[in-house]
Structure 1
Amino acid sequence: MSTPTLWLTLQARDAPALIDWYRDVLGFVLTAEHRDGDHVGHAELLTADGVGGLMLGSHVEGREWSIPPGSAHAYVVCADPDALHERAVAAGAEVLRAPSDTDYGSREVTLRDPEGNSWTFGTYPGTGR
């Protein structure tokens, strides 16, 4: 497994709850967390295969490099979008697009996380190098 060199970064109103949701529903693995009570200064999560990375922390209005919670969209390559969809629905996730086949050969589902970010999980790996 190699270390990711591209990280999606997010800020959250309730970072501890979002971290739990990413682990329990989306299958991310928490690899680092620096927090003081409910304030998360920095957390790192990896996709189950370890090739994708996510960094997040608690949103603090007006802080330098402050981004609005819920303003991101990510695409994650996933072997079984249908199984992920089932877990997400069981956890009460909002489904933006039910599992479907695309005209470019991917099977995909799009969800919204509890903070409002949208996530597409699909089998399309990109065109590579």
Structure 2
Amino acid sequence: MRTIYPIFRYPDPHAAIDWLRSAFGFEAHAVHEAPDGSVAHAELVLDTGMIMLGGRAAEAPRPADDGWSVYVAVPDVDAHCARARAAGAEIIREPYDTDYGSRDYSARDLAGNVWAFGTYRP
């Protein structure tokens, strides 16, 4: 059972859902719309992981590069990176091999959130 659910805010949650599906391979688990058609709350899944997302004001500042990101385990880092790049993700660290046997890369999504992907599964 999951116990941690990272939450992301996007100026256009509908576009973010489409982009996260295209770029990173997420699937929509639930999308709850407000009466005006905006996304009130959404849940996306990738393998056994889940994130939640909703809206934020377009003028809100882009997330800072403060050393944090969300790590997502994927089976093929190079293919995943190529998919993300093709969908317009900003690759901020190209695929590389770690000292502990993982292959990783990092990307920034359309709202500036930093994501790390790799083969490491603790």
Q: TM-score, normalised by structure 1?
A: 0.82
Q: By how many angstroms is 1:60 displaced?
A: 5.0
Letter in 2 for 1:57: G
Q: By how many angstroms is 1:4 displaced?
A: 2.4
Aligned length: 117
Aligned to 1:46: 45
Give distance in 2, aligned partners of 1:34 and 1:69.
24
Name which of 82, 88, 99 aligns with 2:84.
88
Contact 1:93 1:112 in 2 (8 A): yes
Contact 1:7 1:55 in 2 (8 A): yes
Helix, strand or coil at the partner of 1:7? coil
**Percent identity of equivalent pairs:** 44
Aligned to 1:107: 103
Contact 1:59 1:68 in 2 (8 A): no
Q: In the alignment, is residue 78 of structure 1 matched against residue 74 of structure 2?
A: yes
Q: CA RMSD in A?
A: 2.0
Segments of 4+ in structure 1 off by > 3 A? Answer: 67-72
Please, which runs of 5 or more residues in structure 1 have no aligned partner? 62-66
Give distance in 1, aligned partners of 2:114 and 2:86.
17
Contact 2:23 2:88 in 1 (8 A): no
Could you list the per-position Cα deviations for residues 15-40 of structure 1 after superposition, in whole angstroms to 9, with x for gaps in the alignment? 11111111111111101111245521
Q: TM-score, normalised by structure 2?
A: 0.86
Contact 1:40 1:57 in 2 (8 A): yes
Name which of 55, 59, 63 aligns with 1:58.
55
